Structure 1
């Protein structure tokens, strides 16, 4: 029996050795063959590195990412590729990302074979020249998250099969030549109405026609942006649109829609931009009362002759822009309209506005233009004192004899000029096509244009907002470790589609130009929506210009790359190595055959949970655990009812999250890593190792894990009331008064103090934020999510020098600058959490940083530190906020610029305990029970579970490949 086993082992190892040698020679590597076919199809316009060797994985072809010698990603943006996309692409069965944007030389139809890429998550083909119909086989790509086919030449109708893409997040088919109606399901045929998880429908600038189907919209949808502008839609706006209350941007302009605007349109209380202009809408002006976030409203070129100017205009206190030219609007303008704090532009030209114009004594300080030309205004009360840009040409007031007021003539120059200024330096004198950067260095920039489709503002002369965009771009590039020196923005304008167009130049760091790797990643992050601007700019597309000034390609040693002249050497070396390995394996096999079967089985059973752990996968060495239970895949599947949809309670960057129940009735939450992906492997190991060692009432408890059948799952105790972020934002329906917030602050602080001072070894969390603080049934705070945590060993008791990771807004600036991590980095993040507790604002919101805003508010008044403007109104008022000043003092000490100025967590705990004693609470009992833990839940709330922590906003350093951040 032993001899037979030995022979079998020898045969198997010989087969493995032969297959390895063949793969080394590239003759039997099907993935290499596919890449060779692509190379031929693209008429040899591929990067030069594709001419080195024959194995794209082994020879490091640019734009090709491999996992275990399988091609998993193709990034070739802005590479000036020419040719078509052959059906061979369908053989790359492990491909997850295909990004070929900004290659206008890519032509022909999109091959139906693309439907064979069952693991594809991102299909990004922006700014190419693909034509013909969109293949129906796209409906087979059930894992697809991003589908961006905008700015091509696709024709025909939208395939109904896209409705099968249940994981689709982003659908962008803008600027093609698509025709026909919008597909909706009918029980047997799928449709777009089935995409309930999608956040973005971008279908503008096509030739789509017919009615907008009422069945397209339903209350289960989670759409944020609905962009149907510049098509040929007819009929009325369906009232079912009012069911999609998650909507933030609606563009139905430049169609042929008729009838009245649905009366339930004001159910869309989260909408910030609404474009209904250039249709044939009639009836009353739609009532937008209650839409308190509305910034931009354009109803121009419709017929609302059936109504007078509505009085509720002035109730839209977030409004920056009101455009209703040529709508047959009549009546006198309410003076309150001009007092809206952020109002910038009012365009009511070509209407029947009459009476006396009164802009009030205190109009908005941001008001730039009031265009009332061709109306029936007879008088103006502020005739001599106004300072705004006012146009009254064509009104009776300007038809009087001898009138010379400037508002009775058209402005001579309304253009706006802006360009990013130099950074305190003198622009360099450059030649040969080089451009002086904002840092006054000559270089060849990567150029293109942003098209912002729904900005919240209309005044193009606001330089501050462009500088904010420039700063956010640079922060993004630096944190992603892109080789970018500076960026320049210039020439803001509005095009015929009413998009804000802004030109962009990106300058390389240290060199005159980018290499191909730098360009392909820049093109990818801008076409994949990885960079996300602030809400002021909202959704965008980016078009890139060709880049013709690549750096010479160099090898790791710094010498120019050369094509290998003798691939046989690799075969000889590979064969020799394979032979040596074979001898060793045979010896090991012989020893194994003669071992006692029982002893072998026991060893196998002991190592079973990590028998397949692969340290080379980026997940580190085999975990060292204390007490965490190992579950089999079958057990977890049983506890979650086969991962049923009803038990799916969320998703994050790690993967899906499910609720389950153990046989003893205990509720559990299972974080399941994405199938077939090693992303999160290191976080998986870190959380197991650390949480198996920590046991504290203010730290979420790890029950066990599953490392079986290729799955990575973490099993936690189920925390019923979600994240602190959910409660502060109102999503959980739990009202947090001042007392409850103090208790939560104390619980979270105690959890962090335990990690820093009592855990063995001490732990730095590294991602403290309100999304990672959970609330149990008594609203006791528990610190969670240890995927980025670092233990402090004896060798690094003072600090750890490590790659910067964390979340924007919470990140310690000293750690970011020095890459030296200490416990004081957690203290800084907790200080931001304390400020978020009293303001309920995001750390970074509309370009404003919470730390700076609170400090500024403190300077304005001594009463309550002048915080009335930034305090969360639901926290309580006046004397109920006893101890607030002390709380703010502690939080601002935590967010000092340097760590040595910040208190340790033990001191923070004592300070919060003192505040609780001051307000009459007993800090010794409040962390374990709550005398006021009763609370009311808002009816109908669909509670998101805390373990669906969205790490897509978390920054993880590293240039290749960039973190895929889904757009919002």
Structure 2
């Protein structure tokens, strides 16, 4: 019987181990690259396999990484491109890591399966990329509490599955984007989104009528503390699902929509501190309204509305400086939920009467600065504050003796703090706090910020007790390890947000491990936790840095009986454990060998033979020789699509059906060793739609191979020469120039570190299936380190005709060297001539021929007739001017590539083109031109990936 049990345990144990998921090689490589870029990653990162060994914060489905949840981990760094290779990623939560800075890269569009993108309370800045609208499954987009600037991307309107949209507390500016026709998206397309959170920004302009419609399901619309102007649109009254509406602290003007009373589900309505005018609308239908803020507007002077007593759920009424006049009906104070009434600085007059009965929830009625002549109380003792200061009733002799004729003194009693649970709080050591159970521990702390609130008495314990119970029930899961919850210090900030300090105490130990903090913080940042709806509206949590991580739960003492039992059980299963340990050690050794090979495929790199130190990889996939041999059908001639001085290029087909271009160095060739290493190091870390993508590489069996995306329409040189059969008219040439400029600008300004290409030329600009330009060939590229101020002193390399003369003379390489080469490229685009042709240099020929006093600057004999001169002469002239600025002799006189991009966009707009529209490869001219053409972009004369050169140009590499 015992043997049978042992055998069963052995089989089960082996089975469990075998089916444990090993991470997909590409995902593994990407995570390790991210790990090398970030500081303060969890301590178990880098040990074993991310999925199988459960790296903190990494969630997997099978072998694929599907979630990264690392909030409050004190991470430092940026969103490196490798994270965007995780194609199965569904959730990315990096909230509360102030050390995460830089931009949100456009490459975020690669995460097509992403459902949650949560970056609350980090240090990100720059513009939110328009590519954010390319995530079809996104449900939560939380970018609040960062330093993002620029406009709200209109492309967000494409996110048809979006539920939560939070961009509050940034530096966003400009107008609220709405759609224009059926092709240009806007926020009005988000009919399934429930949350618009845009408070605390710099948004301006009017609120578009089109923003709201009856099709929408919004419950929270928060645009407080911006610079919005114009009227509140009547279309707001069509969104009957709304619960919280905030447009306070803007510059809104005009009448309030009369249909606001259609919003029967609204609980919070904040419109204070605007320039609103006109009559107050009748809000009788808003039966669920808890909070009404209308202060500091210029409404028409009118009697106190008769509908005040119909607001049966009202807790807070704030209408300071709104030109109210007349008397308040006594029945109003009988509303059962009423707590706060502030009607200061109005025109109320006559007698003030609170009636025979009033709400037992009342805390204050502030009528300071009105014209009230008397006060009648027929309802017995009053336990709340009444303020009638600066009214005639308080200007009579002896009136100052009345309590209501003096300002109430601040309540010095302490606000709410969770009491201990029938115990005496401990005096704890440094950093520790006594929990409600009077146990010393290191709690996880942070601040809850409520943007909507359904009570105004901050000293009422009931809402906080309800919140405590709710939090405790939610977080008392075994995997979260929370024992007790404590709340303290409720207070209102200047934005009318309720702030509340939260303490979460660990269960069974004195501190949390990283996994526990990650799960707790993620539940709060992702809004998985919901507060009690009867008291609290939308919230945001800000987690404080946690300093006391442990590797696991604290050890507990075992009784001698437990030890004896454990020893007996241990003796019984010793044999089986030894067997399993042997199997485990064997598999671990094989896995470690495999992981070493995956993480360091250059373990056998020989610096002497391969021209350079070991490459620093950033996530490029390592292909085996056998894989590439299979994908190219044994490097068959049928798949040979180009050759050059470096070697050959083969077309390959991956198992997914994706076409790739495989650049294979000549056997034993020492030429290009540095280029091979440089392209891997640099190109694997850059990701832009106008830069050719490196998919992987192979370095084994003496082979050096690079695997790129397949670019079907060859090089720009091929099209300009007519070799590819593609006709480039003026709009297409402008589009190609813009795409190439964007690619180079990305390398200079957004790549980390910045990259100088050093070999910008027409054979290194490739055209994809829609004739979009892609910058290629990084064999000569040079990264700019932080210590390199303005230039790099380096051996001169490049292509004659494109080479910057200042760089050639001084050997000091700067970004302006690429600008010069790009200027030559621009001249090549409009002339279809090689830079050096028949001994003539294109830059010199242009300077000698140019005459700005004549049409087309007297360049008709030089410009390519295929452009068509009659239609766009103004744009051509500005294009020529820009090109000549790029080839100025002094680098300081040349524009930056970012300026080049903007100028080309201006030229396109001037010529009636949309700079953001994609090239149309299906146009009739293109189809006709390419019929029957043999489009091989990698043949001998246009070896775009190798850096080979046309007949009239040559590489210059002086010693």
- TM-score class, shorter-chain normalisation, is 0.5 to 0.7
Deviations 1:910-958 (A, max 9, x none): xxxxxxxxxxxxxxxxxxxxxxxxxxxxxxxxxxxxxxxxxxxxxxxxx
Aligned twin of 1:429:
427
Aligned equivalent of 2:317: 322
For residue 71 of structure 1, the aligned residue among 51, 57, 65 is: 65
Match of 2:146 among 147, 152, 156: 152
- Whether the 8 Å contact between 2:364 and 2:386 is mirrored in structure 1 is yes
| 1:196 aligned residue (184, 188, 191) | 191
Contact 1:295 1:320 in 2 (8 A): yes
Residue aligning to 1:746: none
Within 2, Cα distance between the matches of 1:174 and 1:135? 16
1:440 corresponds in structure 2 to 438
Residues 379 and 42 of structure 1: is their aligned pair in 2 closer, same or farther, counting only changes over 3 Å?
same
Instruction: Provide the rounded CA distance (Å) in 1 between the counterparts of 2:239 and 2:256.
Output: 16
The aligned residue for residue 550 of structure 1 is 549
1:320-469 → structure 2 map (5 Å cutoff): 320-382=315-377, 385-403=381-399, 404-414=401-411, 417-469=415-467
> 1:427-826 to 2 correspondence within 5 Å?
427-479=425-477, 481-535=479-533, 536-553=535-552, 570=587, 573=590
Moved over 4 A (4+): 553-558, 567-577
Correspondent of 1:84 among 73, 78, 99: 78
Deviates further, 434-443 or 301-310: 301-310
CA–CA distance in 2 between the matches of 1:458 and 1:234? 29
Task: Give the TM-score taking structure 1 as reference length.
Answer: 0.55
Instruction: Give deviations 1:443-464, integer Å, cap 9, x for gaps.
Output: 0011111111111111111111
Task: Name the residue aligned to 2:871.
Answer: none
Q: Is 1:235 paired with 2:230?
A: yes
Gaps of 5+ in 1: 1-19, 559-563, 578-968
Mapped partners of 2:416, 2:368: distance in 1: 28
| Superposition deviation, residue 74 in structure 1 | 0.3
Output one character per residue of 1:474-501: Cα deviation in whole Å (capped at 9) or x when no partner.
0111257521110110111110000111
Equivalent of 1:220, from 215, 219, 229?
215
CA drift at 1:114: 1.1
Write out per-residue CA displacement over residues 769-799 of structure 1, whole angstroms, 9 at most, x where no aligned residue.
Answer: xxxxxxxxxxxxxxxxxxxxxxxxxxxxxxx
TM-score when normalising by structure 2: 0.55
Mapped pair 1:122 → 2:116: yes
Report the alpha carbon displacement of residue 570 of structure 1 after superposing the two structures with TM. 4.3
Residue 377 (structure 1) shift: 0.6
SS of 1:78's partner is coil
* Counterpart for residue 241 of structure 2: 246
The answer for the alignment partner of 2:682 in structure 1 is none
Mapped partners of 2:556, 2:342: distance in 1: 62
2:302 is paired with a residue whose SS is coil
- 576 and 392 in structure 1: CA distance in 2 versus 1, 3 angstrom threshold: closer
Q: SS where residue 130 of structure 1 aligns? A: strand
CA distance in 2 between counterparts of 1:516 and 1:481 reads 12
Indicate if the aligned counterparts of 2:138 and 2:161 stay in contact, CA closer than 8 A: yes
SS at match of 1:355: strand
Where 2:404 maps in the other structure, the secondary structure is helix
Aligned to 2:161: 167
In the aligned structure 2, how far is the partner of 1:557 from the partner of 1:368? 50
Q: Aligned in 2, Cα 1:249/1:576: closer, same or farther, shift over 3 Å?
A: closer
SS at match of 1:51: coil
**Map 1:300-311 → 2, pairs under 5 A:** 300-311=295-306
**Cα distance in 2, alignment partners of residues 165 and 40 from structure 1:** 32
Q: What SS does the aligned partner of 2:216 have?
A: coil
Which whole-Å CA distance do the structure 2 matches of 1:274 and 1:457 have between them?
A: 13
CA deviations over 1:113-171 (Å, ceiling 9, x no partner): 11110000011110000000111111111100011000000000010110000000000
Partner Cα separation in structure 2 for residue 323 and residue 295 of structure 1: 11
Number of residues of Structure 1 aligned to a counterpart in Structure 2: 547
Residues 181 and 251 of structure 1: CA distance in aligned 2, closer, same or farther (over 3 Å):
same
Q: Following TM superposition, by how much is the alpha carbon of 1:388 offset from its aligned partner in structure 2, in angstroms? A: 2.3
- 8 Å Cα contact 2:416-2:459 kept in structure 1: yes
Please tell me whether the aligned partners of residues 41 and 85 of structure 1 are also in contact (alpha carbons under 8 angstroms).
no
Q: Is the 8 A contact 1:305 1:330 kept in 2?
A: no
CA distance in 1, matches of 2:395, 2:326: 20
For 1:52 and 1:557, locate their aligned partners in 2 and report how far apart those are by CA, in whole Å.
27
Q: CA deviation at 1:418?
A: 1.1
Aligned-pair CA distance for 1:400? 0.8
Q: Is the 8 A contact 2:267 2:291 kept in 1?
A: yes
Q: CA deviation at 1:87?
A: 1.3
SS at match of 1:526: helix
Tell me if structure 1 keeps the 8 A contact 2:81–2:107: yes
Matched, 1:38 2:34: yes
CA contact (8 A) 1:89 1:113 kept: no
Partner Cα distance (1:92, 1:38) in 2: 11
Give the drift of 1:286: 2.2
Higher-Rg member (1/2): 2
